[in-house]
Amino acid sequence: MKHFIIRLEYKVPIEKIDTVLVTHREFLDSGYQKKILLASGPQNPRDGGILIGRAESLEAMREFCKEDPFAKNDFANYHFTEFIPVKYQKEFESWFFPE
């Protein structure tokens, strides 16, 4: 399993982002249900967002993100950074290293 930090950079005014925010959060909920996402939230200032997730490959993570309403409406650029979790809080061990 590979781990990623995904930074979203909004390409449109926040008013347009807000028009699909509910469906974006529903999309995120599907990622939590599938155990793809660990955390997500807007940046401060609100010019993008951050996702922390995992997938079998970078391509699989990109495919997941293509289903985001922000991506489908071309409202955001996605920047993917793979990382290797070496240190972490013990309560997250099963998320980073599932059996």
User: pLDDT (tens digit, 9 = 90+) per residue, 43-88?
Assistant: 999 999 999 999 999 999 999 999 999 999 999 999 999 999 999 9
What value does the mean pLDDT take over residues 10-30? 98
Sheet containing 37-42, strands listed edge to edge, beginning at the edge strand earlier in sequence: 37-42, 48-55, 2-10, 76-83
What pLDDT, on a 0 to 100 scale, did the predictor assign at position 99?
74
Distance CA 88, CA 65 (A): 25
Omega before 85 within 30 of 0, i.e. cis: no
Distance CA 55, CA 57 (A): 5
- Which pTM was predicted? 0.93
> Three-state DSSP class for 8?
strand
